[in-house]
Amino acid sequence: MTTHKSKNEAAVVKQLRSALSSPTETALAHSRARVRKWFAEAAPLIQWGEMSSPLGPLFAAVNQRGLCALDFGRRENEFLARFDPLARLEKNPKALARVLAQLREYFAGDRSSFNLLVDISQLTPFQRSVLDVACRIAPGQVWTYHRLAKELGRPRASRPVGGALARNPIPIVIPCHRVVASDGSLGGYSGGTGLDAKRWLLRLEGAL
Amino acid sequence: MALRFEELIERHHDEIFAYLWRLMEKERRDGASDAEDLVQDVFLRAYRSFAWLRPDSNPRAWLYKIATHCAYSKLRQIKDRHHKLSSLANSVEELGAASDGVISRNMEARVRSLMNSLPVRQKACVTLRYLQDLDYPEIAQLLGCSQESARSNVYQAIRRLRRLMEEEK
């Protein structure tokens, strides 16, 4: 009985599939192109590129406002996972040419500071102010977390300052590696290989 | 790595479009404009609420759910419009009945016609099960009903189609 029923049902389904049309490939392609076009216009564009560096593979990304992310010593998918899933990601080394050129000069010892537009608008006002102050530390110098907190007008905020530096989305360009602990140790560093990378950068700049 | 919205478009656009195309079969005249407009609306709505999609949820079923809502609301609009133009609609019905009589010699046309006469929910269930190849837990999830209800809707539709085929023999 069950076999008869399922046989019957299979025949009905077969008939159903043949009777109901499927969209043509042209209709599908047309609609696909229309949805992709809408998405390209609606979603914020993030263009990214990569280069090799003494600290391992280095990835950088720009949006409409400027350089918005940089990381090194990680895998590509780890870098890309940080972006808003609603954004449109596009690998475009040309869009990153200026950024990557300045980074190459920096690693070669031919550049000590960067001339780039950056976007840290995703951070809180406090985090942004910490990174703004960090940009005032000259190459070859180091400040303590306490000094940075004082410069910020929040002398008791050394720990939150450390937390804000750890969220720096653009290490190296925003030189959070130039901030060390008051006891003379390096403190922390969340970029690439951690403290080894921080030590390497400070040596490159002649601060160690 | 978290699912990106553009992957959702690349993976599921075609099947969602095909689903809407089939649900809007009766309303389609020339070309695919209804299904095209609807699929764009589906992805727009999905884009706006993507942030609320839980990481452990099924994005494919979620898109089907949005698509079903969009199609229902479009079909309801069309039905309301027909009601408002009742006198015109009556004559359209008569014309439709006459043309149905002509095409009923063709089995495929009769199956199509029967599918189009099914209640929207039954049509959605049978399309999801046998044309989009979703399983009952997925259908129940996206239509917000029990699996039994989804099975029952499919069963009713299949029974009607089977009868039609038997009459044809």
Enter the ipTM: 0.75
Query: pLDDT truncated to tens, each residue of chain A (208 aa)?
Result: 445 556 667 777 777 777 777 888 999 999 999 999 999 999 999 999 999 999 999 999 999 999 999 999 889 999 999 999 999 999 999 999 999 999 999 999 999 999 999 999 999 999 999 999 999 999 999 999 999 999 999 999 999 999 999 999 999 999 999 999 988 888 888 777 789 999 999 999 998 8
Binned at pLDDT 50, 70 and 90, residue B99 comes out as very low
Question: Which residues in chain B are closer than 8 Å to A17, comparing Cβ atoms?
Answer: 130-131
Question: Which residues in chain B are closer than 8 Å to A19, comparing Cβ atoms?
Answer: 107-109, 111-112, 115
State the maximum Cα–Cα separation within chain B, in Å, rounded to a whole number: 57
A75 CB near a chain B CB, below 8 Å? Answer: no
Among candidate residues A99, A176, A202, A204, the one labeled active-site is A176
Mean pLDDT of B8-14: 96
Mean pLDDT of B102-120: 70
Give the residue from B128, B161, B168, B169 with the most A CB atoms within 10 Å of its CB, the best one to mutate: B161
Q: Quick one: closest CA in B to A76, which residue?
A: B1
- Answer yes or no: are the C-beta atoms of B140 and B147 closer than 8 Å: yes
- State the pLDDT at residue B113: 79
- State the pLDDT at residue B85: 52
Q: Round to whole Å and give the CA distance between A94 and A100.
A: 10
- Would residue A135 show up in a list of annotated catalytic residues for this protein? no
Is 0.90 topped by the overall pTM? no
pLDDT digits (tens, 9 = 90+) for B39-50: 999 999 999 999
Question: Which residues in chain B are closer than 8 Å to A23, comparing Cβ atoms?
Answer: 17-18, 21, 32, 35
SS3 label, residue B134: coil
